[in-house]
Amino acid sequence: MLSMSSTDTFPRQKARTRGFQLGRPRNFALGGTRVFFIRSLSGQDPAGNLWCVDVSDGSQRLLVSSSDLLASGDLPAEERARRERMREVTSGITAFSLDEAGTVAAFVVSGVPYVVEVESGATTELPAPGPVIDPRMSPDGTHVAFVSGNGLHVVSLGDDSAVALCEPAHADEAWGLADFIAAEELDRFRGHWWLAGGLLVEHYDNSGVAIRWIGDPARPEIEPVAHRYPAAGTANAKVSLWFVTLDGTRTRLEWDAERFPYLASVHDGVVMLLSRDQRTAQIGRVDAERGTLEILATRTDTAWIDVAGGVPTVDSSGILVDIINDLATDTYRLTRAGVAVSPPGLQVRDLLRADLESCIVTASVVPESQGVYRLDLASGEAVELTPPGCWASAVAGDGLRVDIVTDPSEPGTTFTIGDADRRIPVESFAERPLIQVTPSYATVARRELRTCILWPAGYLPGSGLLPVIVSPSGGPHAQRVGRSAGAYATDQWVADQGFAVVIADGRGTPGRGPAWDRAISGDLASRVLEDQVDALQALAADQSDLDLTRVGIRGWSFGGYLAALAVLDRPDVFHAAVAGAPVTDWALYDTAYTERYLGHPETSPEAYLRTSLIERAGQLTRPLLLIHGLADDNVLAAHTLLLSSALLAAGRSHAVVPLSGVTHMTPQEVVAENLLRLEIDFFRKNLPRYPPVISSRIRLN
């Protein structure tokens, strides 16, 4: 779906469409015979609306238009932080919750809470003491719980006021919200859950966490904001979990919080706790009547415990279902009561649904593809439910499933709702890129590295040598090479400017098994960089058009770290780098991520020393462009500023682009558009190219 003018370019289109996410159906949820999702009205409309599909007759309707509701309220700071953790770049309705039957939904627009009665479409504003975060509908559809002013409140539908169940005693504590580490590193974004008889509620106290000041030097009249940030080796927030009844009675669930400071996951009353080194996990089930945590299992690992989606949980018979790393077969396997029910070699990524006869999971046989599988618990048979050779995910319910399947050869995603009798397509209003994306996949080198090359549109093999830009993976547990063409739109545009773009997933990236993941334990530098070099050289051995005398590298966050590392450690291979929001000293990054891979800085100081870019500053001999948002509260701007200072002290020329008011996501349209152009200008200057013979229809701009 396109509505761009003739003067629009890909960078502008990507910026306006928020990376082609606007207009795309998302946040699917199942309720009764209905399926709900969020979708804006076009590929340039950032305001999400709530939609409903009735599977019984296939009808689809707009249930709530966010433009019809109050849209001028201020988002609370806590909600802005929550969206930053979730990488949320839209407005309007960004999340919702349902009752069990799918008859009523709760949501927020601009901090104002609402409920909608599904059958009639009647929308009602809920009473609240102030701007609201994360309203959660009770399973029986009678109450809504939400956070306001860092306190947990509940309102009975039809009442004219909300009741405060838990209120903070000071500004550095909160009830009902996920703490920073849970949201940023453990993929847990919620802090309260309905449970029979009341709610499970997270409480965290940040007062012992060190303050980092986030300011905007371009606006010195504005006071910097205090940001509690748990850097490696420093104190974390104190986290506890409470069972709270609707009359306000609170019971704390006791565990050894000193030994297990991380509340990693909560699924249907099953809790996973992690030790600080993340090598031990306790799994417990909440006994609401007694207000206790019944320990179901303890997991240990010599490296770290992985946190997977949907687990641990219990099925309808109360049996523990989990995903464990089976070292004997080097496979992530689904287990039931501790017994593996998925076959060796099938790398299970997430649990979507568990019942007494089967489980629905996402899994991979090869890392570049992901499918949705049904695992038969009696036979152990795994049946792929989505087309092979794609990248697929799903939302699964009782006899009902939403399949989300991407096209491996051209940008596009299909969304299909299905039960035993019918398949109902859901249209995406997202725009397609103005360019033609043509990924070329290959497995190379002795470690069978998965790679993808993007050539300039119309480029003919043998037409001449092309300078190369490496666009690496996002680090441990982050994957770039997958059979989803839409994921490479930006890389294709970069290629169309006269480069060959190379993407490779090395050790530490998911989909290969526990041994592959743990190969980077204690070292985030040498093995990760070695795999990028090996992939590049192996591809060049097969593709004579890759000019290894002109190789650039670009990346953001961990990719920015890797880009800077590449020109510092391997200037013989990499000749220019653009490093966006790079981690430059791992001692400055957060506890859970850093200590998972490098250990505690007091016990493993050598790991921090050998991975620091600051210590390497004197090695720089290649052009390096550093880019950083000054409002970044994840990878603080101090990372870039300290590296720049070290480079200056060593007499090493480099360039820095500070982005005033920009966070880690860089959602601002003008910034996002012009950063791409800035990178291309940098590489054109520092990787001078001579034009190959290419099709006359190609414009290299």
pLDDT of residue 672: 74
| Per-residue pLDDT at 688 | 78
Long-range contact list for 618-621, CB < 8 A, 24+ apart?
618/650, 618/652, 619/568, 619/569, 619/571, 620/567, 620/568, 620/647, 620/650, 620/652, 620/654, 621/567, 621/571, 621/652
Helical ranges in 229-292 per DSSP H: none
Distance CA 456, CA 73 (A): 45
What pLDDT score does 163 carry?
A: 97
Q: What is residue 532's predicted lDDT score, i.e. its pLDDT?
A: 97
Q: Give me the pLDDT at residue 63, please.
A: 98
525 in Cβ contact with 565 (< 8 Å): yes
Tokens 């002013």 -> residue: 149
Contacts of 676 (CB under 8 A, 6+ apart): 11, 14, 490, 493, 494
At residue 6, the pLDDT reads: 47
Inter-CA distances, 79 with 135, 197, 207, Å: 12, 27, 20
E strand or H helix that includes residue 154: strand 151-156
Q: How many Cα atoms are found within 13 Å in the side-chain-facing hemisphere of 503? A: 30
The CA-based angle 87-88-91, given to 5 degrees, is 165
* Alpha-carbon gap, residue 694 to 627, rounded angstroms: 32
**Residue type for position 112:** V
Distances, alpha carbon 689 to alpha carbons 179, 448, 542, 700, in Å: 48, 31, 21, 12
**pLDDT at position 696, please?**
33
Per-10-residue mean pLDDT for the chain, 701 residues long?
Answer: 60 91 96 95 94 94 90 61 64 94 95 96 96 96 97 97 97 96 95 96 98 91 94 98 96 96 97 98 93 94 96 96 96 96 97 96 98 95 96 95 95 90 93 96 97 95 93 89 96 97 97 97 96 98 96 96 98 98 98 98 97 98 97 95 98 96 74 88 86 38 39
Which CA distances in Å does 320 have to 181, 288, 296, 315, 375? 26, 18, 8, 7, 16
Looking only at the bridges linking them, the beta strands covering 466-470 and 546-556 are: parallel
CA atoms of 301 and 304, how far apart (whole Å):
5
441-444: long-range pairs with CB below 8 Å, 24+: 441/368, 441/408, 441/481, 441/483, 442/539, 442/542, 444/534, 444/535, 444/538, 444/539, 444/542
What whole-number distance in Å separates Cα of residue 246 and Cα of residue 338?
Answer: 36
Please report the pLDDT score of residue 697 as a whole number: 33
Say what the pLDDT of residue 106 is: 98
- Tell me, what's the pLDDT at 2? 44
Cis omega (within 30 of 0) on the bond before 605? no
Q: Which two tokens stand for residue 295?
A: 């320990």
Three-state DSSP class for residue 286: strand
Give yes or no for a contact between 444 and 543, defined as CB atoms under 8 angstroms apart. Answer: no
- Strand partners of residue 556: 580
Distance CA 33, CA 354 (A): 19
Bridge-based pairing of strands 576-580 and 546-556 is parallel
- Position 698 scores a pLDDT of 34
* pTM for this predicted structure: 0.93
pLDDT at position 1: 45
Distance CA 590, CA 595 (A): 8
pLDDT number for residue 290: 85
Q: Is 672 helix (H, G, I), strand (E, B) or coil?
A: helix
Cα separations in angstroms, 170 against 166, 188, 251, 563: 12, 24, 20, 42
Distance CA 122, CA 145 (A): 20
Q: 345-351 contacts: CB < 8 A, separation 24 or more?
A: 346/373, 346/382, 347/510, 347/511, 347/512, 347/513, 348/308, 348/323, 349/308, 349/309, 349/510, 349/511, 350/308, 350/309, 350/310, 350/311, 350/323, 351/308, 351/309, 351/310, 351/311, 351/313, 351/321, 351/323
The H or E element containing residue 192 is strand 192-195
* Structural domains in the chain plus CATH codes: 439-686 (3.40.50.1820)
Residues in the chain: 701
Query: Going by C-beta distance under 8 Å and a sequence separation of 6 or more, which residues neighbour residue 685?
Result: 623
Output the CA–CA distances (angstroms, integers) from residue 179 to 86, 190, 192, 270, in the order listed: 13, 9, 12, 18
**Dist CA 598 CA 595 (whole Å):** 5
At residue 669, the pLDDT reads 67
Query: Under DSSP, is residue 14 helix (H, G, I), strand (E, B) or coil?
Result: helix
Quick one: DSSP state of residue 223? P
Q: Please answer whether residues 205 and 237 qualify as being in contact, where contact means their C-beta atoms are separated by less than 8 angstroms.
A: yes
Task: Take residue 139 and report the two structure tokens written for it.
Answer: 């399973």
Tokens representing 579 are: 């490093």
Could you say which DSSP state residue 177 is in?
B
Cβ-contact 174, 183 below 8 angstroms? no
Tell me, what amino acid is at 116?
V
